[in-house]
Chain A
Amino acid sequence: MALLTKKDANLILDPLADNNPITIQVLGICSALAITAELKASIVMAISVMFVLGLGNVVISLMRNIIPSKIRIIVQLVVVATLVIIVDQVLKAFAYELSKTLSVFVGLIITNCIIMGRFEAFALANGPWRSFLDGIGNSLGYGVILVIVGFFRELLGSGTLFGIPVLGNPIEKTGLYATGYENNGFMIIPPAALIVVGIIIWVQRSRNKALIEDN
């Protein structure tokens, strides 16, 4: 395809695995963990970040030659904050219940380290199209981890996916619950997210020895 050269395609594919923003670059963990108790919230969060990072990268990349380097942090914060306000207003208008669940974490996209990190590391040095691809790639890598964590936490914690029961009814003891299976309430509390991410990192680094750290 002429639209995406191999180099451009790598911009999208790299962050999905070996240069993942959460598990390798250690960015954007702040808002990633608190909202993953439900799969639906995780997906909405991932889409919001994709919107902000994709568009923000383009805007910063277009302005990269006219931003004085001393005040670039403030300029970046203003761009992100504007985009986040748009996301917040849209969520409040069309998905009010969900925006209550996400509460302050929509606002915290502003200080999500992935966004500032990609602005600094990529958008300030590259053209708009490549920056856009980089933004989409990194937010996809972020989204993948969010969806994996959300999937396991919702499935094991409440036996549902997207709020639909998939393992049977825990009160009437149907489905898997008939065999004596119980929901693991531990997966609902916040610290479980950290442990799930820890296990994802473990699996990823066992498969790719090059990523192992020294100490």
Chain B
Amino acid sequence: MLEHVELFFRSIFIDNMVFAVFLGMCSYLAVSKKVATAVGLGAAVIFVLAVTVPLNWLLDKYLLQDGALAWLGPEYADYNLSFLSFILFIATIATMVQLVEIVVEKFSPSLYNSLGIFLPLIAVNCAILGGSLFMQSRQIETLGLAFNYGVSSGIGWFLAILAIAAIREKIRYSNVPPPLRGLGITFIITGLMGIGFQSFGGMLTGGDDAAPPVEENTAVKTEEKKEIKKEIEEKEVSYNDVINK
């Protein structure tokens, strides 16, 4: 249970898709002019990541890893197909995006209308492929953790695009130097937000040590939660300052 909580917060805040590893920057910059569209794309990303990461985990576990084919019989145990992972992962993602589009269109036309135009965009969003590749390189152990990783990194991406869209809506009214308008100031604000998110790095330092006794855990966790709240409040204040200026 604890590892789930840790992975959840780690993927949202410390290893945030946008601020720590710059994934999905293209759509992050292109679709963040209005909050409403940003929310639509963010929701679609969470959804697709939650589906594709566990699927690719299964592919990795039972097809691609060194010796993964052992379930077919002992003579297959020596195969290592991991060089195929890029092409299989991207094929899964493209197929799933298409499938999700068809299913959503059939069963929930209202959801389709709000997500519709974003779904095809997502197939080439680096955050989706990045989620699967990081899942592979970090050797996530169980299917449940892989699902957790997909959902939580999606939420991290959602938070990032929501925040930048809100700031960009406000910044329209401020007097930015002309050469910085649009793209330039967005880059610099994202950089500043990224520095803010770096401060979450101290949040879960116990991850690599042996598990501490249970009583300590609860105390540590409540402290962590308090810290998160404090950080978020602080950040909101500083964002407001930036906006007001």
**A interface vs B, CB < 8 Å?**
23, 26-34, 73-74, 77-78, 81-82, 84-85, 88-89, 103-104, 107-108, 110-113, 116, 189-195, 197-199, 201-206, 209, 212-215
Q: Which of B59-67, B99-107, B179-187 contacts A (4 or more CB under 8 A)?
A: B179-187
A106–B90 alpha-carbon span in the complex (Å)? 14
B120 CB, nearest partner CB in chain A, Å: 8
Q: Which of B41-49, B191-199, B204-212 contacts A (4 or more CB under 8 A)?
A: B191-199
Considering the complex, give the chain B residue whose CB is closest to the CB of A74: B94
SS of B interface (majority): helix
Number of A-B contacts (CB under 8 A): 149
A104 CB, nearest partner CB in chain B, Å: 4
Tell whether B22 is near chain A: CB-to-CB under 8 Å: yes
**B interface vs A, CB < 8 Å?**
19-26, 29-30, 83-87, 89-91, 94, 120, 123-126, 128-130, 133-134, 136-137, 172, 177-185, 187-188, 190-195, 197-198
SS of A interface (majority): helix
B184 and A201 form a contact (CB under 8 A): yes
Chain B residues contacting A23 (CB-CB under 8 Å) are 183
Select B86's contact among A32, A85, A195, A204, beta carbons within 8 Å: A85
Seed contacts A190-B22, A201-B180; 14 additional CB < 8 Å A-B pairs: A26-B183, A29-B29, A34-B21, A73-B124, A77-B124, A107-B86, A113-B126, A116-B124, A190-B19, A191-B195, A198-B188, A201-B179, A201-B183, A214-B182
A206 and B179 form a contact (CB under 8 A): yes
Considering the complex, give the chain B residue whose CB is closest to the CB of A92: B83
A104 and B137 form a contact (CB under 8 A): yes
The 17 sampled A-B contact pairs (Cβ below 8 Å) are A26-B183, A30-B23, A30-B126, A73-B94, A85-B86, A107-B85, A108-B133, A191-B190, A194-B22, A195-B187, A199-B188, A205-B184, A212-B178, A213-B181, A214-B181, A214-B182, A215-B182
Assuming A104-B130, A113-B26, is B180 touching A85 (CB within 8 A)? no
A198 and B124 form a contact (CB under 8 A): no
Assuming A111-B129, A113-B124, is B87 touching A78 (CB within 8 A)? yes
Considering the complex, give the chain A residue whose CB is closest to the CB of B26: A113
A198–B123 alpha-carbon span in the complex (Å)? 27
A201–B133 alpha-carbon span in the complex (Å)? 30
